[in-house]
Structure 1
C-alpha cells in the first residue's frame, strides 16, 4: 500500500504574504498604465497637445504591448520566471523616471513605449507564478489575489495619482510612483526566493522518490459542477492545452476589454459631462476602485467553484453599470441627481470589471494546462489589443459626444454576455481532492 502526501487545503500565511507582494507588482504596473486617465487634461495642457492625443498614450501603450508580448515572453523563457518579473519591474522604473522628467509629448511617448515593452512579460508570468505558491484547487483564489493589485490601483492608484498630481504636479507624481516600484521590486525578489545562490522559486515540492505522482482521487468520472457544465479532462491545470477554447476565451476577452477602455480612458471627460462638474472625478474614481475591491473579494470566493456562473453575473452587472451611466446625463434634478446616478453606475461598472478579469485569466490557465505561460501571453496580447482598440474608438467617438462612449460600451458588453451564455467558454473549476483517500492496494 502507498499513501500520497496531503495537499494543503488552505493558503498559509507565508504564501499569502508572497501573493500580496505579487499583487503589489500588478498595482504599480496598472497605476502607471492608466496614469493619464485622471490627469489627462493636466498633461494635455502641460505638453500643449489636445486631450484626445494624450488619450492615445494609453492606446499606443497597448499597441506596443500587444505586438511585443509573445516575443518578449518567449525571450523571457530563457531565464527564470522570477528573474523575468524583476527585470520587467526595473524597466517600469526607468519608464516612470522618464515620465517624471518629460517636457515634451515625444518624451512621454518614449516613456510609455519603455513600460509597454515588458508589460506583457509581467502579466503573462505573474498569474502562473502565483499558481506555484498554492494548491492546485486554489489557483483561482491566488489569481484573484494577484489581480487584487490591479483593483487596488483603481482604488488608490488612479484616484491617488490624480489627487497627488493636482497637489504637486503630474511629473513629481510619476517620480513618487517610481520610488514605490523600486520598493515592490525588492519585495518580489524576496517573494520568489531570488536572493541567495542556489535558491529555487517557491513551488510545489516533488513527491516521494522523484517518480511521477499517481493520478489524484479514485479515478471515477467527475460529477458535473454547480454550473451544470460537464467537466472535461483538458479543463484541468496540468493537462494538455486545449488551444481552440483558449483562443475563444481570449477573443471574448478582447471585446470586453475594448468595451471597458472605450469609456474608461476618457473617464475624467465623461464624468465632467455627465455630472456637470470636474470636481467629481477623484471621488468617482475612488468609487470605481472601492467597488472593484468588493468585486475582487467576491470573485475570490466563487471563482474556484462556479466560474461560468460568476462570469455571467459579472458581465450582466457590467452592462447594467455602463448602461446606467449612459442614462445618467439625461436625468432631471440637477447635479446631485446626476451625480448619484453616476456613482451607482460607476460602482456597478467598477465592481464587475474587477471581478471578470480573474475569471477569464484563470479560465485561460485551466484550459492551457502545462502550457500556462504561453497561453497567458496570448491572453495578455488580446488584452492589449482590447485596450488599444477601445481607447482609439473612444477617441473617435469623443469628437462627436462623450455620451456615445457608455452607449457603445453597453452594446459591446451585451454582445459578450450573449456569447458567454450561449457558448459557455469559461471552463469548470479544479476540484479539491483529499489525497489521504487515494490509497491503492
Structure 2
C-alpha cells in the first residue's frame, strides 16, 4: 500500500477529521468496559485464592492452577474459535463471547466443587481469544484510519483499569459478601456491558454511519475496510508472524517476573507489606502508559515501540539492581517503586503498540492475524510463568535479570529488523505536520 499518494487521496473526497468525535469516544468506552470485565474475571481467583481454596476444600496451589490453566486453554483454542466466529459478524461474535462470560461467572457463583470452578474457567477461556482478537479491529471501525492506534489504546485501557480497580475491587467485595456473591455481581456487570455493546456496534437497530475517513465501514457487520491496513487485501504474513514472535518474547519476559511479583517485592524491600502498594503503583503507571501510547502510536509507532521497550528494560533492570543497593530499606524501596512504575507503564503501552502493528500489517485479515497475536500472548503467559518457576528455585534475583536480558533482545530486534510498521498518513496532511518516522517510510 503506498502511503504517499494512497494515504492522502481518498476515494470519497472527504477529509478525515483530526479528532475522534464524542459518539465514537462513548462507543470506545463501551468496548473498553468489555475488556475490563473479561480481565477482571480472568484474574478473579488471585485476590480470593485462600477463600476459594477453603470453601472448596482444596489446596491453594490447586486453585492457582485456575490461572495458568486458563492461559493454556485460551492459547489452544483461540485460532480455531476465531475461525469459527468468522462465520458470523464481528459484532455478533463479540456479544456471544460476553454471554459465554456471563455463563462462566454464574457457574462460579454457584460452584460447590472445584470441578465446577474448572468448568467455569474453561468456559470463559473458550471465548477469551474471540473477544481479544476482534475487539481492537472493531474499535478500528469506529474511528478514522489514522486514529487506529488511539482506538486500540482506548480499548486496552479497560484491561489496565482491571489491574487498578477490577482485581482489588473484587477482592474487597469478596471479603464483604463472599467470593460466590462477588462472581454474581460481576455477572450482572457483564450483562450491562453486553447490552451496551449491542448499542455501541449498532447490532439490532439502525446502522451507525461509518466513521469519517473509513467509507463503507460498519462495526456491526465487521467490514474490515475501516482498519488501518484497509488498502491491503491480504496480510503480510511474514511480518505479522515476526511481530507476533517478538511480542511472545516480550510477554514471556514480563510474566517471568510479574507472576512472582510478591516474592520479588519481598526479596527487594525485605518486607511483604509493600506488595499491595507497589501493585497499585504498577497499575497506575499502566494507566499513564496507556494514555501516552494513545497519543503517539498513530504518529510515530516505530519510535513509540523503541521507547516503550527501552523503558521496559530499564524498569525490570532497575528492579534487579534495587535488591543489592546500599543505603537500607528506604533506598531499596524507593528504587523498587521507580522500577515498578517504569515497568508497569511500559508493559501497558506495549500491548497497543503490537496489536496496532499487527492490524496495520494484516489489512483485511485483521481478525485472523489478531487471533495469532492473542494465541502468542497466552503462550507468553504460560512460558514466562513456567520459566520463572524454574528460576525461582535458584534465586529470586534471577527473575528480573533474565527478564532484562530477554527485553534487551526484543529491543535489538525492534531496532534492527523494524517489525513495527509505520502509521498511515492522514488525508490531506501537510508535509510539515507529517510524523517523523513517516517521512522515512510511508509504505506497509
TM-score bracket, normalised by the shorter chain, equals 0.7 to 0.9
Moved more, 142-151 or 29-38: 29-38
Aligned pairs for 1:170-319 within 5 A: 170-196=179-205, 199-200=206-207, 203-204=210-211, 238-319=232-313
In the TM superposition, what whole-angstrom CA distance separates every residue of 1:64-100 from its partner, at most 9, and x where no partner exists?
1111111111111121111111111111122223333
How far the C-alpha of 1:150 sits from its partner, in A, is 1.2
Alignment equivalent of 2:367, drawn from 358, 364, 373: 373
Contact 1:295 1:351 in 2 (8 A): yes
Provide TM-score, normalisation by structure 1.
0.85
Q: What is the aligned counterpart of 1:420 among 414, 419, 422?
A: 414
Selected match of 1:141 from 130, 150, 155: 150
Structure 1: runs of 5+ lacking an equivalent: 211-233, 437-441
Change (3 A) 1:77 1:404: same
Distance 1:432 1:37, change over 3 A: same
Counterpart secondary structure, 1:257: helix
Change (3 A) 1:272 1:158: farther
Q: Matches of residues 61-76 of structure 1 in structure 2 within 5 Å?
A: 61-76=70-85
Alignment check: 8 A CA contact 1:159 1:282 kept? no
Change (3 A) 1:206 1:395: closer
Aligned residues: 411
C-alpha distance in 2 between matches for 1:337 and 1:38: 29
Contact 2:90/2:134, CA 8 A, preserved across alignment: yes
- In structure 2, runs of 5+ residues without a counterpart are 1-10, 218-227, 431-444
Contact 1:55–1:265 (CA under 8 A) maintained in structure 2: no
Q: What TM-score results when the alignment is normalised by the length of structure 2?
A: 0.84
Instruction: Say if 1:44 and 1:273 are closer, same or farther in 2 by CA, change over 3 A.
Output: farther
Task: Tell me the alpha carbon deviations over residues 337-386 of structure 1, each in whole angstroms, 9 at most, x when there is no partner.
Answer: 33322221111111000111101001000001111111111111111111
Q: Does 1:364 align with 2:358?
A: yes
Residue 401 of structure 1 deviates from its aligned partner by 3.9
Q: Which residue of structure 1 aligns with residue 13 of structure 2?
A: 4
Displacement, 1:45? 5.5
The 1:8–1:391 alpha-carbon spacing in structure 2 relative to 1, beyond 3 Å, is same
Q: Which sits farther off after the overlay, 152-161 or 345-354? A: 152-161
Distance 1:163 1:404, change over 3 A: farther
User: What is the RMSD computed on CA atoms of the aligned residues?
Assistant: 2.8
Instruction: State the partner residue of 1:226.
Output: none
- 1:40 Cα deviation from its structure 2 partner: 4.5
Matched residues in 1 for 2:289 and 2:215: separation?
40
